[in-house]
């Protein structure tokens, strides 16, 4: 099964994707994690990506597509994958379809998460992530705090705040998302595989949304 996660930064894509990965037994592939790993290791890709990400912009399609294409050739995604952060533009979506067709595969479900902008900014400001790249657990110090402050429940590593998790950059990232990624909603709606959920403290949180999606997939 191939699942795509859509949603502006801070809507909880990573949290929902992580739960789905565990429940469905297929890996979560996050382009954001790939970029951040390269930035931390100061690779050539990392240097290019940082120029865009630090300004709240998307990394160019040609770079992102090649990264995903290589990742989809790896053995662990043969039986399915949850794409978190890709595609983000119509061009990426069209290229993904071409890549999948070659392997007689298709996108089975597109999950579109929506959250009010003011709540996104609040969430991002309170977000903390595990410093262990093999763990990548995500917390919110208000809504979903770790049992021990600053320490990951899963692996015991220190939690950190991403450099781009600030209100100014978040607003730019949201606007970039609306400008470039919203057309994907129409694209996948026309294909009949879009599933939209509101993730909000006034409606449902990530864990509840993930459970709803698992039930839908399993036909419960």
- Rounded Cα gap, residues 31 and 51, in angstroms: 16
C-beta atoms surrounding 158 within 10 Å:
11
Contact between residue 111 and residue 197 where contact means Cβ atoms under 8 Å apart: yes
Catalytic residue annotation: 13, 88, 127, 162, 173
H-helix or E-strand containing 70? helix 61-71
Which 3 state secondary structure label does DSSP give 115?
coil
Which tokens go with 107?
Answer: 């996108």
The helix-helix angle for 31-40 and 44-53 (nearest 10°) equals 110
Beta strand 159-160 with 138-140: parallel, antiparallel or unpaired? unpaired
Are 174 and 9 a contacting pair, CB within 8 Å?
yes
CA–CA gap between residue 86 and residue 7 (Å, rounded): 10
């Amino acid at each position: 099964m191939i699942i795509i996660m859509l949603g502006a930064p801070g809507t909880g894509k990573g949290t929902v994707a992580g739960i789905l990965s565990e429940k469905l037994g297929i890996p979560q592939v996050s382009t954001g994690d790939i970029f951040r790993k390269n930035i931390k290791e100061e690779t050539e890709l990392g240097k290019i990506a940082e120029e865009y990400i630090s300004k709240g912009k998307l990394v160019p399609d040609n770079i992102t597509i090649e990264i995903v294409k290589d990742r989809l050739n790896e053995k662990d995604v043969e039986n399915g994958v949850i794409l978190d952060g890709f595609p983000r533009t119509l061009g990426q979506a069209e290229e993904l379809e071409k890549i999948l067709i070659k392997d007689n595969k298709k996108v089975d479900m597109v999950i579109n998460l929506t959250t009010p902008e003011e709540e996104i900014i609040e969430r991002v400001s309170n977000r903390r992530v595990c410093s262990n790249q093999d763990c990548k657990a995500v917390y919110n110090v208000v809504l979903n705090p770790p049992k021990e402050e600053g320490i990951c429940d899963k692996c015991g590593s220190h939690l950190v705040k991403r450099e781009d998790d600030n209100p100014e950059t978040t607003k730019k990232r949201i606007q970039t998302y609306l400008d470039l990624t919203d057309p994907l909603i129409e694209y996948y709606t026309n294909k009949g595989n879009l599933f939209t959920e509101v993730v909000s403290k006034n409606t449902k949180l990530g864990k509840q949304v993930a459970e709803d999606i698992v039930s839908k997939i399993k036909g419960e």
